Amino acid sequence: MIILGLSGALGHDASAALLVDGEVVAAAEEERFVRDKHAKNRMPLESARYCLRAAGVAPGQVDVVAFPYAPISLASPARWHYARRYWYAPDRSLDALLNGNRRFRRNRRKVRDMGEAIGIDWSRTRFQPVEHHLAHASSAYHLSGFAEKTAIMCVDGKGEYATTFFGYGEGGRIHRLKEFYDPDSLGGVYGAITEYLGFEMLDGEYKVMGMAPYGDADRYDLSRLIRARGRGFEVDTRYVNTVGLRRYKENGVGFYFSDKLIDWLGPRRMGDVADEPYIHYAAAMQRMFEDWCLKLMETYLGDILAETGKLAFAGGGALNVKLNQRIVARDDVDELFVQPASGDSGTALGAATWVAAREGERLSRMTHVYLGPAYDDDACLEALESCREPVRWRRLEDVPAETSALLAEGHPVAWFQGRMEFGPRALGGRSILGCPSAPGIADRINEQIKFRERWRPFCPSVLDRVARDIIQTDQPAPFMTITFDVAEAWKARIPEVVHEDGTARVQVVERDAHPRYYALLEHMERLTGNGVVLNTSLNRRGEPMVCSPGDALNMFFGSDLEYLVLEDYLVTKGDDA
């Protein structure tokens, strides 16, 4: 069976994923093709075309188009809860009750129109809507490789109405235990504080997480934002998760928090400096988010975890690596699988896997995310020859060896190799690399190459055979989805990838997943004594990760990078080509 998963219902992070007989053969975010970060208000037209082309599948061969957004019955508590909690905005309340699937109908039309544009034959291809949080759940559970009964948690802003999901998977089926509904959203509160701290919601949450270690969570108590209610929680919409006239506005732009929050905490943060009191607000928000997620996990999944110790986690909240560190530290969690594309882009994969599982197809553990386009040397050479900037290049005899020599000398290197990663993390396909023992390399990359805030941390890619010595655990970590305490002996060896709190968001690299990247790490070990590189995404601030050789060259010439390894070519800047 050929299943095309598409996301984009919520106006951001459109993507496509293709399954053929249960195998994930291609997946990519639309932003990488259209060069618009998060692909706002777009459908996954180019990413769908790529997936079909990569698999050699004609549009007319697609059996099912799966879409992670579904109609919600009036008999469900979701629409009634929404209407009750948004009583202060009666237009929202009445719309939820009288026309609560309006957005689904609009999205269904968009999918059908897009399908026709790429050649889908709707007379033979079935359209299958999947509830948003079931898609998140499927993306984690069905690709976790767990055979045992598995606890499932999904935390994000919201889907149709649900914001938080607790359930379990058993025998390939997902069972729902508990959902919470908008406006009671932990992800929504985190997003509101993200906006208050001067970042963009749905993009800057990881910046808040990176700022938090510089602050003291005990300095400010934010608990009034979320209160306990029975076995769950309720958000105080007088402060956050607000709509309509309650929203705070600046220059005609409304935010997800109210004037009451400004009256309490002071003016919204501006600029790039991590200063007081905002670093303390970030720390307090991070701890409150962690505490509530863990409390709810214990309440609804504690019995399952005690039985099997397996947890699958997805949703935007699953990209909170500090929360994930606390999860794996629990005695009742033997193994955590975090979907590497946990945000809404991953729901294209989730919707497709949900359909595949329902059809009885066998799904395997996700072991890598190299599911996007690859470009051979001919394509790279074509891009180099058509480059309008003065550029030099030469073919490398031994790419890992010669690249590692540059890194060991203290140079940052842009690294463009193989298939592009699916999801937000650069994992050795589209990366900027540095030597983590070279003093000042992190500041240099932040200031001169990525043009981002100085306090933002960088992450290490680590050889699998030295990983345990660094992170002191055997927890699988191939996707940079968990932070770990760095062993004392290693903090001085790789200081440029150790964050303010002594942790690092590690990628453990295995040879089979990316042989050339693994070889690079082996050469770094011979040259520096450390099988580790600093790894960050190949992009500038505010831009998507690069996709094509042309994108890589544009980024290269738009920054102070001096070296770009473009497949087998070493590219440098020069006055003649």
Residue 520: give its domain's CATH number: 3.90.870.20
Q: Say if residue 413 is in the same domain as residue 395.
A: yes
Q: Say if residue 201 is in the same domain as residue 328.
A: yes
pLDDT score for 577: 36
pLDDT score for 9: 92
Q: Which of 312, 359, 315, 314 is nearest to 20 (CA)?
A: 359
Q: Say if residue 300 is in the same domain as residue 444.
A: no
3-class DSSP assignment, residue 220: coil
For residue 16, give Cα distances in angstroms to 354, 356, 371: 14, 15, 11
Q: Which two tokens stand for residue 295?
A: 């409390």
Question: Cα angle at 491 between 486 and 495, to 5 degrees?
Answer: 115
User: Is 154 in contact with 174 (CB distance < 8 Å)?
Assistant: no
3-class DSSP assignment, residue 362: coil
pLDDT score for 447: 87
Q: Which of 242, 134, 249, 137 is nearest to 182 (CA)?
A: 242
Separation CA 257–CA 191 (nearest Å): 9
Q: Say if residue 321 is in the same domain as residue 382.
A: no
Q: Write out the catalytic residue numbers.
A: 12
pLDDT score for 483: 97
Q: Say if residue 509 is in the same domain as residue 528.
A: yes
Q: Is residue 21 part of a domain?
A: yes
Separation CA 157–CA 200 (nearest Å): 14
Residue 310: give its domain's CATH number: 3.30.420.40
Q: Say if residue 107 is in the same domain as residue 203.
A: no
pTM beyond 0.95, yes or no? yes
Q: Say if residue 412 is in the same domain as residue 276.
A: no
User: Is beta strand 310-314 parallel, antiparallel or unpaired with respect to 335-338?
Assistant: parallel
Separation CA 424–CA 538 (nearest Å): 11
Contacts with 333 (C-beta within 8 Å, 6 or more apart), sequence order: 305, 309, 311, 327
Q: Say if residue 553 is in the same domain as residue 448.
A: yes
By residue range, what is the domain housing residue 261?
186-336
Q: Say if residue 291 is in the same domain as residue 393.
A: no
Residues of the chain with pLDDT under 70: 575-577
Q: Which two tokens stand for residue 19?
A: 């399954």
Q: Say if residue 418 is in the same domain as residue 353.
A: no
Separation CA 480–CA 322 (nearest Å): 11
Q: Is residue 64 part of a domain?
A: yes
